[in-house]
Amino acid sequence: MKQTLDGYVGRSVAASLLASLAFFLCLTILLDVLNNLGGYLDKAERQGMSTGELFAFLGGYYFRQLPFSFVTIAPFATVIGCMFAIARLMAQNELQPMLFVGRSMVRILRPALLAGGIVALAMVACWQWAVPRVALEVAEAQTLLGGGDRSIQRVILEERGASFAGLWIKAYDPKAKRMEGVSLLRRGAGGDSVLVVAKAATWDEGIGDWVLAEGVERTESGDVPIERLGAANWTPAVVLQRGQEDIPCELFSYDELLETRSQRPNRKDVAMALHRHFTYPLANLVLLLLGLPFAIHFERSSRIERVLGAIGMCAAYMLFDLTCQNLGFNGYIHPVVAAWSPTILFGSLGVVMFSGIKT
């Protein structure tokens, strides 16, 4: 009987949750299309794209953007989908027999909490593997829709120690692994300096170095043409990572955030993004603990009032979360405190509300 009831409640929750996710994803795409369609058509006309080609391009663009949209809307779609599922069971008087056979309300709602946990794990997997995989393609598509080129502008790499090496790149094309406007300055421990300049440099996997176009090594004795940059440690992955420092850290994977955190320990945005990669998936459970009590009622009351109460509680969580983010990014509070405060505060409130559900 327990397995049958769990399966019945779980199927109802899963159906509502999937419908809620699909609705919010489609709504996000539709609003973006309607808001930017005029600009997209103008840019497509300037770039010689037909209307059919534009919509095919937009279809691929929004398909790649699905991981970004999912990790953004998942907690709110989860709580709304689960609330509608439980409210439907309440309206059809299907929870009362479950209570009559001796099951507690918390036990009945366990499939909804399990669904929230599954969505949280899906967000973690999406951030680790899906989002970083398509981040560059989405950035390129956004640049193309904006009418610009796809290269990363003004990349700087440095190595300091007994000697110094600094690489300045005017533009870098990650897809072609090609740097434009290259300048490399090396200064030894004795003070002697060497400057290498080139019109362009392309990565050669065979030799593991950058092949220069019109490369010249400038020293005190004169200019000498050279074919290789001699900077094998600055691979395309390193150049891309450094060039992505202007990309929002929310699009990084856990591994990228940990690596960037070790290299840039003073960056508050990296610390905030790293901890929010753990706290934001937990928002699925926090919002369920806050929202599900509004779906359970045995006395006469307006359904609109309960829905508005749940929406108000979620809005309060979101407002407090955004406030903590701004304070953390601006350095008013520690990033760890800013990232975990909403989860701890509203999570504690949610536990109290959920444990106090009437039966």
pLDDT in tens, 311-356: 888 899 999 999 999 999 888 999 999 999 999 999 999 999 998 8
How far apart, in whole angstroms, are the C-alpha atoms of residue 267 and residue 262?
10
Read out DSSP for 224-263?
Answer: EE-SB---TTS-HHHHHHHHGGGS-GGGS-HHHHHHHHHH
Joined tokens for residue 132: 């970083």
- Predicted confidence (pLDDT) per residue in 85-119, tens digit: 998 898 888 988 888 888 888 889 999 999 999 99
Name residue, tokens 């953390």: 328
Question: What is the 8-class DSSP label of residue 49?
Answer: -
Q: What is the mean pLDDT of residues 193-213?
A: 93
For the chain, report the end-to-end CA distance as a whole number of angstroms: 20
What is the pLDDT confidence band of residue 300, given thresholds at 50, 70 and 90?
A: low
CA distance 207 to 24: 49
Question: For tokens 């109802």, what's the residue?
Answer: 12
Query: Directed axis angle between helix 303-329 and helix 335-355, to 10°?
Result: 160
Give the pair of three-digit tokens for residue 246: 């202007």
Q: Which amino acid does the sequence have at 2?
A: K
271-295 pLDDT, tens digit per residue, is 999 999 999 999 999 999 999 998 8
- To the question of pTM greater than 0.85 for the whole model, the response is no
Domain ranges of the chain: 2-147+267-355, 152-246
